Chains A and B, each alone.
Chain A
Amino acid sequence: MIAQDSSVRIGVYVCHCGTNIAGVLDVAELAAFARTLPGVVVARDYKYMCSDPGQELIKQDIQEYRLNRIVVAACSPNLHETTFRNTAEAAGMNRFLVQIANIREQVSWVAEDRQEGMRKARSHIAAAVRRVAHHEPLERQYVRITPRVLVVGGGIAGIQAALTLADAGREVILVERQPSIGGHMAMFDKTFPTLDCAACILTPKMTAVKNHPNIKLLTYSDVVSVEGSVGRYTVRIRRRPRYIDEQACVGCMLCIEGCVFTRAKFPNEFDQGLGFRKPVYVPFAQAVPPIPVIDPKVCLQLSRGKCTQTCVQACGDRKAIRFDQTETIEEYEVGAIILATGFKAFDPTPIRYYGYGKYPNVYTSLEVERLLNAGGPTSGHLVLRDGRTPKRVGIIHCVGSRDQNYHPYCSRVCCMYALKLAHLVKEHTQAEVYNFYIDIRAPGKAFEEFYHRVENDAVRFIRGKVADIRPASLVGAGAGSLASEPGGNGPSDPPAMTEAPPESERLRHPQPGQKAPPPPAETLLVRVEDTLLGEVREIPLDMVILAVALEPQPDADEVRRLFGISCSTEGFFLEKHPKLAPVQTANDGVFLAGACQGPKDIPDTVAQASAAAAAALALIDAGQIELEPNIAWIDETMCSGCRTCISLCPYRAISTDEERQVAVVDPALCKGCGTCVAACPSGAAKQYLFSYEQLDQELEGILSYV
């Protein structure tokens, strides 16, 4: 055992935390126990140590008793270690001569037995007292921050964050993996509850991003590696080849006209496969940047190496088409990162009884957004795959949400967008619209009012989960079941079932002005228990819209590893604190914006993106950041130069001083894990705040009072 330094004067402070600790443990007895420990000069218990009077108590004792070490037995160090370090510093002590004994999260809140709890609390206090005696004063060290921010994802969240930062005069790198920014919002027709046209409010922001001198926009690109840490990350970004030179292209789109494919025949991903594009295309008319991209899988030149290259002729002397373009990697140094990678719309195919993908008239909400959108595949005409305008439309809520088989959580936005779709469908087609819901959740500004407005549109609401959807022709008793529908208009004559066209034809949407495929003309019979009427109803519909859940991006897990953060149980990125640090993450320089953190509507996304931008700005504008105090260092007198530590460091923070043949730690690179310290065969590698002396004493303390 290491001899106790007689000059050590420890004050121990046991917090009641109201009744959180004092209700379970005898705090006075713990203080009395602490007084018996070596080095302890004073020990007290107090109602709230973290309160101003509590901290004042410590400061007074430091002066009066000439204390030079402090132990606070209270909540987790993750909560108030900084508080008490500040207290000590304010009283003239070095801030690192403080140790916390966690007797709330690890004792009073989890121990059922008072006696056992007291034993555990005593040993935690004894350990902290013995440890703190070996603490040494440390200096705080700082490192410069690179005043540049990487924003990952160019949806509304990323756009908002990038613009906020750029307007503040900071450099922003905005990375988007699609050919255009805009994200999901660009796909929508109108936005609830105000029914603003999504494009009308989004495209000005998209253009602003493109024109902003402080924003470097990298579309069709993704982040491949992130190194370094808060304040100085080195990110490598892969730029996939568009096969069109972004500098040379003027966005005239003549190459698209000139393509050897005279007809657009490849499904456009942006239109959810309902519309079609050529091998050279822009995903949508307002795309930013307005530069086409060539799909190498279907372009004749790129896939077969043989084409008359009419696009090149169309481009003329601008010479923007570059079939020889290859993937490139660009490297940037940034001080902070904002993740705005968004969500994925739930694929309802696995829910067999909804028949998505099987019955052509069952659509997802995102598909219907595209059909309603004036820039979409049907120029905003809501028509079925056979070209008919639906007369009876049903919207099924909570598809994939609030469902133990898929996602137990509520996706938050579906009720509202389903109401919006109900309104729009009614407006476009005068169809009869049914909403099948579990609960209507409209908790937002002007949301409830919008709900009432839609109710007044004579949209029908049926409270119940749809059990089954199938073609009326297969059920055969369509007419009979209609009787059970109160006040329902009879359907127009159920169209006779024609022979079903092949799958590929059935699922293809007609382009305006083209010959429609033979009409499948199936009426769907939706079976639902109306829980308010208490009876099962069967309702014939022309079109069913599935209000699908919002789920994490399929690669969310890889992305979070790339950026060193965590996911919550449902797979969305985990914030540092659900209430008090909602845009921060466990990785200090990484912030979250938008639906990558959880399902969110546009107002909340924009608010959160602005918050993330502000948090990133607060970080980089400080100019410097305090280094971890607990870094490793090498005692050169003991180092034999064996290099064991060097191979263990994932940050390449340790190198060899060739002249002296000893290891050297770069304090700016060391993150303070202590792995090298544990491995050093000669004990030359040491760690501040986690030295052998300190941990040995803590261990002995913890085992001496059990």
Chain B
Amino acid sequence: MSETAPKPQQEFSPRIVAFLCNWCSYSASDLAGTSRIKYAPQVRMIRVMCSGRVDPTFVLKAFALGADGVMIAGCHPGDCHYIEQNYKTLRRYLLLRRILRDLGVEEARLRLVWASASEGPQLAQAINQFVQEIQQLGPLGWSQNWEENGQRMQALQAILQEHDSALEVPLA
């Protein structure tokens, strides 16, 4: 087993991807913007129409591509623009946490946040808190622990490959 990377104390700037649903949390991020609320800049946003569009493989892929944390943000339970799809997100999130644990990824690296369109400050705060927690966890560091994580990494890539091959469609 190679040396375990020491947890960097200060200079670590994590890579974080946030999937925001169009109706509530993306609007919340817009509101945080118009309200000029400053928050941690490490989070990169991807807009989806609904948090229900977030395929668990997106999350695994984000980690495989080097993300240190992934956030999924949707409407509050009961407030989904698409009636109830955020409940499906919740189910997938709970399942994903177990998969991540099996793959040797701290569950805390995946965060589910409910943010309504009027909750710009709350979303900014959730982002700040998440960034802080990921900073404390340090980099995902699969490459540092390659031997230990090698098999898990292979398992992960197998999942992704399987999914990708399913997507390869001969174009008509």
Contact = CB atoms under 8 A, between A and B. Distances in A.
Interface of A: 76-78, 102, 104-107, 109-113, 116-117, 119-120, 123-124, 127, 561, 564, 566, 568-569, 574, 586, 630, 635, 637-638, 648, 650-651, 671-675, 677-679, 681-683, 687, 690, 692-693, 695-696, 698-700, 702-704, 706
A18 B91 CA distance: 44
Interface in B93-131: 116-118, 124
B158 interface: no
A396 B73 CA distance: 45
B85 A673 contact: yes
B167 A692 contact: yes
B166 interface: yes
Per CB-CB distance, the 6 closest pairs between chain A and chain B, nearest first, are A105-B33, A674-B53, A675-B52, A673-B50, A673-B82, A116-B41
Given A105-B33, A107-B41, A673-B49, 6 more contacts: A106-B30, A127-B44, A566-B79, A673-B50, A675-B53, A702-B44
A633 to B, nearest CB: 13
B29 A105 contact: yes
Contact of A673 (B27, B44, B52, B56): B52
B134 to A, nearest CB: 13
A124 B43 CA distance: 11
B62 interface: yes
B165 to A, nearest CB: 9
Contacts of A696: 58, 61
Nearest to B17: A702
Given A105-B34, A566-B79, A678-B55, A110 B124 contact: yes
Given A105-B33, A672-B49, A568 B41 contact: no
B118 A124 contact: no
A608 B157 CA distance: 57
Contact of A706 (B15, B26, B47, B49): B15
A566 B45 contact: no
Contact of A116 (B42, B92, B169): B42
B78 interface: yes
Contacts of A564: 81, 83
Contacts of B166: 638, 681-683
Interface string B1-43: 0000000000001010100000100110110111011110110
Contacts of A672: 49
22 contacts: A78-B26, A102-B47, A107-B41, A110-B32, A110-B38, A110-B41, A116-B13, A116-B41, A119-B41, A120-B41, A564-B83, A638-B169, A651-B83, A673-B49, A675-B88, A678-B52, A690-B48, A690-B53, A695-B53, A700-B65, A703-B65, A706-B15
Contact of B46 (A674, A682, A692, A702): A702
Nearest to B40: A116
